[in-house]
């Protein structure tokens, strides 16, 4: 089946956007497309602000409007960062800004990620609670369950905060990390990860837990900025981490695109099929009607297969490994704690059943997008 016209149009916009941010010199005008294609590009690529900065007065109106909304989100994030910086200075605690919060490239984000030492996390959570933040997902502070971060905290108005005690990217957090932190450029009291670890975390985060963000323009720009801070040793270690990872193929392709951007070259698009699948899901009314858990599994299957991968990693990530977040329903959480093994088995069986139910559709959609973008 051919791709929907809006997906084809959005792919042409993506090709234009990659040239705009990657190639030096004046940018050509965008292709003539429908408003739906512009909306899809803005939703999927998270790069309206960098595009507007590059295009200046030639910025299309729809990009200008999205850039304004993204600026508002950035201001909310900055306000939250300023609060956290004040707390960090007052309590002499290292608070590390992660991902978009650590970089000059300004991208929209629905939450703010920070890392704190495990033995100080409850102090920071108590501060957020005292300032009116409320938790999601059961509001349970059991770090043996929440293996990477505590439940997301959301204020009555503003941006949510996700407080990490681990990074989840396969590398341990040891004393050497805390000793090698860099000061944040804009918020005294906050820190950034060491250059090599920051680049690896950005790369891993955009490929492994979030397959729809493989080759996403916003994440590529973040990673390209991080690569500019690497010395030869850090760069060599980053390539070694990629080469030894089970997802080495997509990790290597994302890294190659980011290296092209960092060098001022227009990158070859190595993720057209993933982008097409992501655009298709965003525009699909049928997909929007799926229950949340089934939709998450279907999305991961379709994206992995569109990218030429296998469903084994999706099974491992979404079925075989128990969720790190307990039920948000208090009564069900109490049952899970009282009889953990039977409830874990039941949840695994439910996920396995959903996996099998949606796999034919995921395989068809993923295969169609892969075939249509060769």
Total domains in the chain come to 2
Query: Is pLDDT of 25 > 80?
Result: no
Q: Could you tell me the pTM of the whole model?
A: 0.91
**DSSP-assigned beta bridge partners for residue 306:** none
User: Among the three residues 243, 275, 307, which one is the final residue of a domain in this structure?
Assistant: 275
Query: Is pLDDT of 97 > 70?
Result: yes
What pLDDT, on a 0 to 100 scale, did the predictor assign at position 88?
92
User: Among the three residues 213, 243, 275, which one is the final residue of a domain in this structure?
Assistant: 275
Domain span at residue 177? 5-275
Residue for token pair 């960090």: 88
* Separation CA 192–CA 178 (nearest Å): 10
Query: Is pLDDT of 104 > 90?
Result: no
User: Domain containing 137 — which CATH number?
Assistant: 3.30.460.40
Is the same domain home to 310 and 240? no
Which of 245, 249, 196, 247 is closest to 223 using CA atoms? Answer: 196
Q: Residue 320's pLDDT band (boundaries 50, 70, 90)?
A: low
Give the start-end residues of each E strand in the chain: 95-97, 111-115, 134-135, 153-154, 160-164, 182-183, 190-192
Is the same domain home to 158 and 299? no
- By residue count, the chain amounts to 374
Cα separations in angstroms, 281 against 18, 32, 37, 44, 313: 21, 22, 13, 10, 20
Is the same domain home to 309 and 358? yes
Is the same domain home to 294 and 242? no
For residues 342 and 273, the model is more confident at: 273
């Amino acid at each position: 089946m051919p791709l929907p016209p809006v997906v084809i149009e959005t792919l042409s916009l993506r090709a234009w956007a990659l040239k705009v941010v990657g190639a030096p010199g004046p940018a050509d005008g965008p292709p003539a497309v429908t408003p739906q294609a512009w909306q899809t590009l803005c939703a999927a690529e998270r790069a309206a602000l960098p595009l507007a900065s590059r295009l200046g007065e030639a910025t299309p109106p729809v990009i200008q409007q999205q850039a304004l909304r993204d600026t508002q989100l950035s201001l909310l994030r900055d306000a939250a960062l300023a609060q956290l910086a004040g707390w960090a200075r007052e309590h002499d605690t290292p608070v590390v800004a992660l991902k978009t919060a650590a970089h000059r490239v300004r991208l929209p984000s629905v939450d703010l990620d920070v890392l704190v030492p495990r033995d100080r996390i409850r102090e920071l959570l108590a501060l957020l609670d005292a300032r009116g933040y409320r938790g999601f997902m059961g509001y349970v502070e059991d770090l043996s369950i929440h293996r990477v971060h505590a439940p997301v905290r959301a204020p009555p108005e503003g941006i949510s905060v996700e407080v990490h005690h681990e990074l989840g990217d396969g590398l341990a957090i040891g004393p050497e990390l805390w000793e090698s932190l860099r000061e944040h450029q804009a918020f005294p009291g906050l820190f950034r990860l060491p250059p090599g670890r920051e680049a690896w975390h950005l790369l891993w985060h955009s490929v492994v837990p979030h397959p729809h963000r493989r080759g996403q323009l916003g994440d590529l720009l973040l990673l390209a900025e991080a690569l500019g801070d690497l010395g030869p040793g850090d760069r060599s270690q980053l390539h070694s981490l990629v080469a030894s990872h089970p997802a080495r193929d997509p990790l290597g392709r994302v890294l190659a695109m980011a290296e092209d951007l960092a060098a001022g070259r227009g990158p070859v698009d190595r993720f057209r099929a993933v982008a097409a699948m992501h655009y298709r899901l965003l525009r699909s009314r049928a997909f929007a009607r799926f229950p949340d858990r089934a939709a998450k599994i279907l999305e991961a299957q379709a994206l992995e297969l569109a990218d030429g991968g296998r469903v084994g990693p999706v099974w491992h990530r979404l079925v075989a490994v128990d969720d790190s977040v307990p039920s948000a329903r208090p009564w069900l959480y109490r049952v899970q704690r009282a009889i953990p093994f039977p409830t874990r088995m039941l949840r695994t069986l439910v996920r396995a059943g959903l996996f099998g139910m949606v796999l034919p559709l995921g395989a068809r959609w993923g295969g169609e997008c892969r075939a249509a973008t060769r």
